[in-house]
Amino acid sequence: MKELDLETIRHALRTARENGYEVVRIRSGAEAFRGTLDLTRPESATPELVFMPEEMDADPEETEGQAFEEIRAMAVGYFAPGSLFEVSASVNKGDVVGSIRALGISNDVTSSVSGKITEVLVGEGDPVQFGQALARVEV
Amino acid sequence: MKELDLETIRHALRTARENGYEVVRIRSGAEAFRGTLDLTRPESATPELVFMPEEMDADPEETEGQAFEEIRAMAVGYFAPGSLFEVSASVNKGDVVGSIRALGISNDVTSSVSGKITEVLVGEGDPVQFGQALARVEV
Amino acid sequence: MIQKVLIANRGEIALRVIRTCKRMGIETVAIYSQADKDSLHVAAADSAICVGEATNTDSYLNLANVLMAAEISGADAVHPGYGYFSERTLFAEALAGMGIKFIGPSVKAIEAMGDKAAAKAAAIAASCPVVPGSDGIVANEADAIRIAEEIGYPVLLKAVAGGGGKGIRRVDSSADLGRLWKLAQNEAQASFGNADMLVEKCVIAPRHVEVQVIGDEHGNLIHLFERECSIQNLRHQKIVEEAPYAGMSEALRKRMGEAAVRVASAVGYSNAGTVEFLVDSSENFYFLEMNTRLQVEHPVTEAITGLDLVELQIRVARGEKLPLTQEQVQFEGHAIEARITAQDPDQQFAPSTGLISRWNAPGGPGVRMDTHVYAGFKIMPFYDPMIAKLIVYGRDRAEAVQRLTVALDEFHVEGIKTNIPFLRRLVRDADYQAGDISTAFVPQFLGEA
Amino acid sequence: MIQKVLIANRGEIALRVIRTCKRMGIETVAIYSQADKDSLHVAAADSAICVGEATNTDSYLNLANVLMAAEISGADAVHPGYGYFSERTLFAEALAGMGIKFIGPSVKAIEAMGDKAAAKAAAIAASCPVVPGSDGIVANEADAIRIAEEIGYPVLLKAVAGGGGKGIRRVDSSADLGRLWKLAQNEAQASFGNADMLVEKCVIAPRHVEVQVIGDEHGNLIHLFERECSIQNLRHQKIVEEAPYAGMSEALRKRMGEAAVRVASAVGYSNAGTVEFLVDSSENFYFLEMNTRLQVEHPVTEAITGLDLVELQIRVARGEKLPLTQEQVQFEGHAIEARITAQDPDQQFAPSTGLISRWNAPGGPGVRMDTHVYAGFKIMPFYDPMIAKLIVYGRDRAEAVQRLTVALDEFHVEGIKTNIPFLRRLVRDADYQAGDISTAFVPQFLGEA
């Protein structure tokens, strides 16, 4: 789920209006918006509002121009690494990197990205929950 | 109490910081401030923050260049108008415009502004609460 | 022994179960969907396991993920709450296979009561009155017409696999039966994967009265008096429930309580369950169905008996004998529960979602709040619209109604629409205040309003 | 008749009184300072009158404004809550002169108990044990030394006009007495406008146990059992209170209840009041003072007796006889109240102000919340730091302590600092859990922590 959804923006605007702010800058992950509210209009009228994408500052973790993503568990169970599941291994999107054993059945874990594994976060037999990061990949 | 106290500003800043806003503009009555937050510093550090008085936009009710203020009750009791308490009367700051009777004692009501009364909001014997608007004055 | 319980549910009921577990010194594991990460049930548990994305089928109804959450957590028991897997024998069986205790009745009892025809047969065998109708599944439309003419219109067509007010169609004359029979069968097939139907006499404007029972695994079974649940919306979902049924004669209370115990005993019932009845204006009562789980409205029973039903569930699940006999169960005072839902009463109760920007809940003497939400919580469209239960207690019904009225007036929510304005009007209705209610109350009230 | 009540107070206690008035069908008028316009007590009342600016002296303690608010509102009665004007005879007298009923005891009774020396004399006359000490006001330092040596150190110097733990100094030896005598006199003069002092034996590590009484205006007076209030902070302010005092023998309960009724009767007491005692480890009890008003901690008495104390106050104020006799008052179970304050336990409990950005209050079975705040409410520096009362009920003390522990763990507040982390540690203390407490508990606990 994306954090910066319409609801977030609506909430920010409401907060801004209630507090009398005119400029709203919202940042979330790789997205940023700047909005200007016309506070002289009543709330029910269409707000005079312009939201524009902004230049983002570099993320502190990405200062060297690198980007990281994570391979995540899409099931609850016990993890078993595949042969590709090790630091420095190159993976392609869709590659099977391991499996999650649940109720006696093995479910493949595929990489959601292409890149080089820089860190493995779970080991053989570790219990994992849905969405848990299994490995970091430099993309 | 003035609305725009330190507490309000602190609250606005906290809200701004929590929501990732960088520019905070606070307006209250005749005062307005604009602040810029440096969000890259941790909260405990002295914030990089400049608050400066701003030019105020005209109040929608003052579009014709007029400004209104209100004479307010500073006690709870029954109101009795004085001779100046009528529409079109000119009052000076400090003029006695009526009284509030409380526990058998009459307490003078003085005008907090100079100008012309444009509207009277209470009549002889009306009960009034603290802070209640008694009359509108064009200043 | 039960030392660690996984709660296979979400929201207020998960939080409710966690509260009792913590009080009993039992470790708790919550499960949650990605959309529910900020729910109070997650914060309250000792640990929490994410079981999937927002939608129910991806998370709370993802059997493999929920079972595996129980396994990897090391829980020795699972509390199912209500809804979700609470009445699914597959779930209870799978847990048994994993050596994890299901906090609820036996698979056999769930099965016996999950099939409406079998449940009705069990009630008849236990000398409990049932609504006149077909002796089991009706083979075809012709049989349905014959039975309807025998027992007299109006009749109800009920899906064998339905429940909680779902899968029911009223038929007022033989002219309508053919069309509605097909419709009802199709709906039942689509909703429950089972098109089998019953035909039942439609009791006019009955009260919905249910009896709480609880049994241990040593054959002891008692009832904890009744709840009056006639205030139901147009979809037969309960909105306002109370205990006791203040207008009930002591003789009827005794007869219904005993009948409920007989029905439950007939299927070897253990743990908490509810036997639902219709009661007509002449104090005739008819077995309706049995819910083999904790009920949403269980707090009103807790309020008048002073018992903690979740505690009793856990104690009998760990093999203890019931700590009290039928004679030791007493009730005092009157309790009412109002279900607070994120629904817009001005828009045909359409679900309302969004960020709760203000949540000023009522409080003070005699007020209990059960909720997983708070100011700052975002209501998502994925789940049941019930976001809180307001339970009030008074020395008698009049005092409870007064407390409910005051509490609803205080309850102030912004950011989403709720049914609170509707409830405020409802509790001011003269018939409601007089206790003159039936399942026909809300339709009439909405027609008048 | 009482048809319209002005509540001459703010915050949770004003809201608490409003709740009962509304339930009884009585119209309510709130008063508020400009700083309190968003408090829930203002929203809950039928109408509200602003009585001044933020500070107490400008608003809630502005006698003319509060009296005139009562007059212009058309209220026929005023409930004073606790603190503020609740024990000021001038206020009660002025209301009487305006033909407005003061919901509280007679001016004579307030006067008799407001003067510590007179109160002690009344207790002695009613054959109620008192702490050994001066027979009334001590004339000078020399007399103070003589009495202290008679009764033995440590002794307490107490301002005649003090109360609620204020205006008390402990003296451990004759070497300190001279200096502390002057200091205490100066403080008493500054705080209460009255430098008169008593000297009393300091009972070591006593329990603070108080008895709730209520009388009607026809001479009937009963007690509603005791509250154990030994958990007090370093300023002698109660933090955690419970009812009953679980470790008390039935014989002592009976003796103290009867003594409280005798003391109250001796001054012709009507309405609700509390007789406070010290109890030593040998079950000796000593009259301390009488509070002639509703007490902060009254909800624990409500929880175990099922009574609504504000309702009883209003009923006797409108001339009704007490609706129950001493024999009809029963208690069941155990209740504990924890005062939630906006104070930072890591900064010597310094007051904390600001916007409450998150307020996730506990709930569920046996939990009562009394508060006027919510997420979005701004805590101002002008008032008492107590922002909420958490009251839990259980079948016995152990269950109540468990519920309190669970509830405190759930209680999540952001934006301001609260004493909740301190309370969480306190309820986990082994001595606290065992009920092994005294007024020395908190100082010891803080020393250890």
Q: How far is CA D387 from CA C9, C234, D49, D377, D392, in A?
A: 33, 42, 22, 11, 17
What domain range is D400 assigned to? 207-448
Distance CA A95, CA A84 (A): 8
Whether C232 and C149 map to the same domain: the answer is no
The single-letter DSSP state of residue D133 is B
Whether B46 and B76 map to the same domain: the answer is no
Question: C346-386, pLDDT tens digit by residue?
Answer: 999 999 999 999 999 999 999 999 999 999 999 999 999 99
- Beta strands (DSSP E) in C34-171 are 47-52, 77-79, 101-102, 155-163, 166-171
Question: A87-98, pLDDT tens digit by residue?
Answer: 999 999 999 999
Is residue C293 part of the annotated active site? The answer reads yes
Whether D187 and D222 map to the same domain: the answer is no
- Chain B: nearest CA to D80, how far in angstroms? 18
Q: Pick from B20, B25, B57: which is nearest to A21 by CB?
A: B25
Whether D319 and D370 map to the same domain: the answer is yes
For D269, the token pair is 């007491």
Whether B22 and B86 map to the same domain: the answer is no
Q: Is A1 part of a structural domain of the chain?
A: no
Residues of A with CB under 8 A from a CB of B: 12, 15-16, 19-27, 40, 57
Q: Could C364 and D402 be called an inter-chain contact, meaning their C-beta atoms sit closer than 8 Å?
A: no
Does chain D touch chain C (at least 3 C-beta pairs within 8 Å)? yes
Whether D141 and D196 map to the same domain: the answer is yes
- Asked, as a colleague might, if the bond just before C244 is cis with ω within 30 of 0, I would say yes
ipTM value of the model? 0.81
Q: Is B17 part of a structural domain of the chain?
A: yes
- Chain A: nearest CA to C354, how far in angstroms? 7
CATH of the domain at D393: 3.30.470.20
Which of C16, C207, C293, C339 is an active site residue?
A: C293
- Chain B: nearest CA to D49, how far in angstroms? 6
Whether D317 and D270 map to the same domain: the answer is yes
Whether B67 and B131 map to the same domain: the answer is yes
- B128 CB neighbours in chain D (<8 A) are 72
The single-letter DSSP state of residue C200 is E
Whether B130 and B65 map to the same domain: the answer is yes
* pLDDT mean over C271-295: 95
- Chain C: nearest CA to A64, how far in angstroms? 31
Q: Could B20 and A40 be called an inter-chain contact, meaning their C-beta atoms sit closer than 8 Å?
A: no
Chains touching chain A through at least 3 C-beta pairs below 8 angstroms are B, C
Whether D174 and D244 map to the same domain: the answer is no
Q: Is C109 part of a structural domain of the chain?
A: no
- B28 CB neighbours in chain A (<8 A) are 20
CATH of the domain at A129: 2.40.50.100
Whether A65 and A36 map to the same domain: the answer is no
* Mutate: best of A76, A79, A100, A103, partner C, most C CBs <10 A: A76
Give the pLDDT band (50/70/90) at residue C282.
confident
Nearest CA in chain B to D54: B1
Q: Could C409 and D369 be called an inter-chain contact, meaning their C-beta atoms sit closer than 8 Å?
A: no
For B35, the token pair is 């602040």
Does chain B touch chain C (at least 3 C-beta pairs within 8 Å)? no
Residues of B with CB under 8 A from a CB of D: 1, 7, 10-11, 14-15, 18, 75-78, 102-103, 105, 127-132
Q: Could A23 and B21 be called an inter-chain contact, meaning their C-beta atoms sit closer than 8 Å?
A: yes
Q: Is C114 part of a structural domain of the chain?
A: no
Q: Is D10 part of a structural domain of the chain?
A: yes
Q: How many CB atoms lie within 10 A of CB D237?
A: 17
pLDDT score for C2:
96
pLDDT score for A66:
65
Whether B15 and B68 map to the same domain: the answer is no
pLDDT score for A105:
93
D424 in reach of chain C (CB within 8 A): no
Q: Could C34 and A102 be called an inter-chain contact, meaning their C-beta atoms sit closer than 8 Å?
A: no
Instruction: Specify the higher pLDDT residue, C241 or A49.
Output: C241
Query: How much is the pTM?
Result: 0.85
Q: Is A12 part of a structural domain of the chain?
A: yes
Residue C296 has pLDDT above 90, yes or no: yes
Average pLDDT, chain C: 95
What is the side-by-side strand order in the sheet with D47-52? D47-52, D27-33, D4-7, D77-79, D101-102
Give the pLDDT band (50/70/90) at residue C37.
very high
What domain range is A25 assigned to? 6-50
- B75 CB neighbours in chain D (<8 A) are 64-65, 68
Residue A106 has pLDDT above 90, yes or no: yes
In what helix (H) or strand (E) does residue A25 lie, and over which residues does it extend?
strand A23-28
Nearest CA in chain D to B10: D354
Whether B36 and B65 map to the same domain: the answer is no
Q: Is B1 part of a structural domain of the chain?
A: no
Number of domains comprising chain A: 2
Q: Is C119 part of a structural domain of the chain?
A: no
Whether B37 and B75 map to the same domain: the answer is no
Q: How many CB atoms lie within 10 A of CB D443?
A: 13
For residues A106, A112, A117 and A119, what is the CA-based torsion angle, rounded to 10 degrees? -70
- Closest-CA residue to C211 (of C163, C245, C162, C246): C245
- D54 CB neighbours in chain B (<8 A) are 1
Residue with tokens 């009367």: B89
pLDDT score for A61:
45
* Mutate: best of A7, A23, A31, A55, partner B, most B CBs <10 A: A23
pLDDT score for D138:
93
Burial of D81 (0-12, 13-18, 19+ CB in 10 A): buried
Whether D307 and D366 map to the same domain: the answer is yes
In what helix (H) or strand (E) does residue D320 lie, and over which residues does it extend?
none
Whether D212 and D302 map to the same domain: the answer is yes
pLDDT score for C286:
95
Whether D169 and D214 map to the same domain: the answer is no
* Mutate: best of A3, A17, A129, partner C, most C CBs <10 A: A129
Query: What type of residue is C97?
Result: G
- C24 CB neighbours in chain D (<8 A) are 402
CATH of the domain at D67: 3.40.50.20
Q: Is D122 part of a structural domain of the chain?
A: no
- C50 CB neighbours in chain A (<8 A) are 76, 129-132
Regions of chain D where pLDDT drops below 70: 164-165, 449
Chains touching chain D through at least 3 C-beta pairs below 8 angstroms are B, C
pLDDT score for B50:
35
Q: Could C68 and A75 be called an inter-chain contact, meaning their C-beta atoms sit closer than 8 Å?
A: yes
Nearest CA in chain D to B132: D50
Determine contact, residues C183/C201, Cβ cutoff 8 Å.
no
- Closest-CA residue to D15 (of D3, D2, D38): D38
Whether C336 and C444 map to the same domain: the answer is yes
In what helix (H) or strand (E) does residue B78 lie, and over which residues does it extend?
strand B77-81
Q: Is B34 part of a structural domain of the chain?
A: yes
D40: phi then psi, degrees, rounded to nearest 5: -65, -25
Whether A89 and A31 map to the same domain: the answer is no
For D401, the token pair is 């302590």
Determine contact, residues A75/C66, Cβ cutoff 8 Å.
no
CATH of the domain at D187: 3.30.1490.20
pLDDT score for C192:
87
Q: Is D271 part of a structural domain of the chain?
A: yes
Q: Pick from C49, C94, C378: which is nearest to A7 by CB?
A: C378
Whether C173 and C222 map to the same domain: the answer is no
Q: Could A130 and C65 be called an inter-chain contact, meaning their C-beta atoms sit closer than 8 Å?
A: yes
Nearest CA in chain C to A9: C355
Chains touching chain B through at least 3 C-beta pairs below 8 angstroms are A, D
Q: Could C375 and D371 be called an inter-chain contact, meaning their C-beta atoms sit closer than 8 Å?
A: no
**Which of residues 224 through 253 in chain D touch C, CB cutoff 8 A?**
none
pLDDT score for C190:
87
Written as one string, the DSSP assignment of A39-88 is TTS-TTSPP-EEEEE-PPPPPGGGTTS--EEEEE-SSSEEEEE-TT-STT
- C68 CB neighbours in chain A (<8 A) are 75-77, 102-103
Nearest CA in chain A to C63: A103
- Beta strands (DSSP E) in D36-86 are 47-52, 77-79
Lowest-pLDDT choice from A68-72, B127-131, C131-135, D212-216: C131-135
Question: C152-206, pLDDT tens digit by residue?
Answer: 899 999 998 887 667 889 999 988 998 999 999 998 998 888 999 999 899 888 9
Q: Could B12 and A19 be called an inter-chain contact, meaning their C-beta atoms sit closer than 8 Å?
A: yes
Residue positions of D annotated with a catalytic role: 293
Instruction: Specify the higher pLDDT residue, C30 or C134.
Output: C30
* Mutate: best of B5, B130, B132, partner D, most D CBs <10 A: B130
Residues of chain C with pLDDT > 90, as a percent, come to 87
Distance CA C139, CA C141 (A): 7
Nearest CA in chain C to A106: C64
Whether D64 and D173 map to the same domain: the answer is no
Whether A66 and A120 map to the same domain: the answer is yes
Q: Could D360 and C370 be called an inter-chain contact, meaning their C-beta atoms sit closer than 8 Å?
A: no
pLDDT score for B94:
94
Q: Could C49 and A103 be called an inter-chain contact, meaning their C-beta atoms sit closer than 8 Å?
A: no
- Asked, as a colleague might, if the bond just before C154 is cis with ω within 30 of 0, I would say yes
Whether B83 and B116 map to the same domain: the answer is yes
Q: Is B71 part of a structural domain of the chain?
A: yes
Question: C224-234, pLDDT tens digit by residue?
Answer: 999 999 999 98
pLDDT score for C395:
96
Q: Is C345 part of a structural domain of the chain?
A: yes
Q: Running along chain B, 139 residues long, what does each successive block of 10 average in pLDDT?
A: 47 58 53 50 35 40 66 96 95 96 94 95 97 95
Average pLDDT, chain D: 95
Q: Is B56 part of a structural domain of the chain?
A: no
Q: Could D34 and B1 be called an inter-chain contact, meaning their C-beta atoms sit closer than 8 Å?
A: yes
Whether A28 and A65 map to the same domain: the answer is no
- Chain D: nearest CA to C203, how far in angstroms? 35
Q: Is A116 part of a structural domain of the chain?
A: yes
- A51 CB neighbours in chain B (<8 A) are none
Give the pLDDT band (50/70/90) at residue C1.
confident
Number of domains comprising chain C: 3
